[in-house]
Amino acid sequence: MIVQGLKLTSVRNLAPVQLEPGPHFNVLSGNNGQGKTNVLESIYVVGTLRSFRTQRLADLIAFGQSEAYIGARVHRGGLERKYEVTLGERSRKVRLDGKTVRPISKYFGDFNVVLFAPEDLQVPRGSPGDRRRFLDRAVFNWRSSHLTDSQAYEKVLRNRNALLKDLQDHPRGGSDELLSVYDDQLADLGARVLAARRSFLDDVLPRFRAAFEAITKSGWTVHLRYAAPDDLDGAGTDEAALRDGLLGLMRASRARDLARGSSNVGPHRDDLVFELDGVLAQSFASQGQLRAIVLAWKTAEMELLQSAHGDAPVLLLDDVSSELDPSRNEYLFEFLRSRDNQCFITTTHPKHVLVTRDRLDFRVDNGSILLKT
């Protein structure tokens, strides 16, 4: 999978961009604030229709402009496809091969993008919400339907919470029936979200363990655990059993939900737990060990996606080298040199990128991108 061409218009501080990347390493260097990450964000948005920096895609529109355009020509399996996103202040237009996409789920599946950003290195010690987003980003790349299920779940959850808050102020008859409707919907969607998360962790775990040992050569045992209510442990990845379990938990929690005005049961309250030699990594691991854990996760994720889809995903590496110690950085680039992923790498200095072959260097200066010769 290769991005053969990238066209950007009115995206943040970037001048109009017409970029023809190389098939392997594309290094974008420059001082902070010049627009390097904006290029990576654009590739991520055109591949996933989401940003890793903001909840509002309209934030990508350059100051004083009414809309932004992102287009990518992607080659995969002997075919070239054109992905296009036009962003307005309150609109998003999506086209694939020149045609409007309906339903939007047809847009996904053939353009897989893996992001590795400095913030990811803080995930083990971050909030449960950070870890859920970190996990969901990986699951979506692995199974594109997960995004649709997650978004539908969040919509029903917002509606249920709005009703709970309204009932705190205005109790009324018939509320039990309406809450039961939301419970059924949340249980259905939540079971799909939960099953996908657990299935991904089952598949990525052996690769994660192997990668961690290759990085650290320590003999330490690492583990990934999905933290959900104990009542759901026996359901595994069985959607029907998960649905029944979630529905029972929601019904049992109704009085508490009404008292608090929010939903206290479901995948939105779960967590991803990293363990090192049987203890919580976030509490007991060193900073170096935590960074090795995240690096192992990312390499395992890339391996799993290539195995699942038969093609290497596009990797976006946002100034991670400056956050890794020399040995971890060397491992990362040794791993990347051994693979055929197309990589887009931002850095403040090209010397941090430990590759000498199959490399194109671009200088990013005040929003302009110039190929270095």
- The model's pLDDT over 131-150, given as tens digits with 9 standing for 90+, comes to 999 999 999 989 988 988 99
pLDDT band (50, 70, 90) for residue 59:
very high
- Whole-number percent of the chain with pLDDT over 90: 72
Distance between CA atoms of residues 137 and 170, nearest Å: 38
Distance between CA atoms of residues 367 and 34, nearest Å: 6
What pLDDT does 205 receive?
97
Q: Where are the beta strands (DSSP E) in 195-342?
A: 222-227, 271-276, 279-280, 314-318
What pLDDT does 69 receive?
97
Distance between CA atoms of residues 350 and 363, nearest Å: 10
Residue 362 region by backbone torsions, left for phi larger than 0, else alpha for psi between -120 and 50, else beta: beta
Strands 2-9 and 67-76 come out as antiparallel
Distance between CA atoms of residues 304 and 267, nearest Å: 23
* The pair of three-digit structure tokens given for residue 225, joined into one six-digit string: 């655990």
Q: 60 pLDDT exceeds 90? A: yes
Task: Write the pLDDT tens digit of every residue in 255-285.
Answer: 999 999 999 999 999 999 999 999 999 899 8
Ordered structural domains, the chain, with CATH: 1-112+311-373 (3.40.50.300), 125-305 (1.20.1050.90)
What pLDDT does 352 receive?
87
Q: 41 pLDDT exceeds 90? A: yes
Q: Considering the chain, what is the average pLDDT of its residues? A: 92
Distance between CA atoms of residues 320 and 219, nearest Å: 25
Q: What does the DSSP 8-state code read for residue 77? A: T
Residue 114 · residue 316 · CB < 8 Å = yes
Identify the CA nearest to 153 among candidates 136, 167, 168, 141: 136
What pLDDT does 104 receive?
82
pLDDT band (50, 70, 90) for residue 325:
confident
40-67 residues labelled b (16+ CB within 10 A) or e (exposed): bbbbbbbbbbeebbeeebeebbbeeeeb
| Inter-helix orientation angle 145-169/128-142, to 10° | 140
Q: 110 pLDDT exceeds 90? A: no
Q: What is the mean pLDDT of residues 165-180?
A: 83
Residue 271 · residue 207 · CB < 8 Å = no
Q: 338 pLDDT exceeds 90? A: no
Distance between CA atoms of residues 188 and 162, nearest Å: 19
Residue 338 sits at φ, ψ, to 5 deg, of -85, -5
Distance between CA atoms of residues 94 and 47, nearest Å: 11
pLDDT band (50, 70, 90) for residue 322:
confident
* The pair of three-digit structure tokens given for residue 224, joined into one six-digit string: 């990934």
What 3-state DSSP class applies to 318? strand
Residue 141 · residue 112 · CB < 8 Å = yes
What pLDDT does 340 receive?
84
Identify the CA nearest to 370 among candidates 35, 115, 112: 35
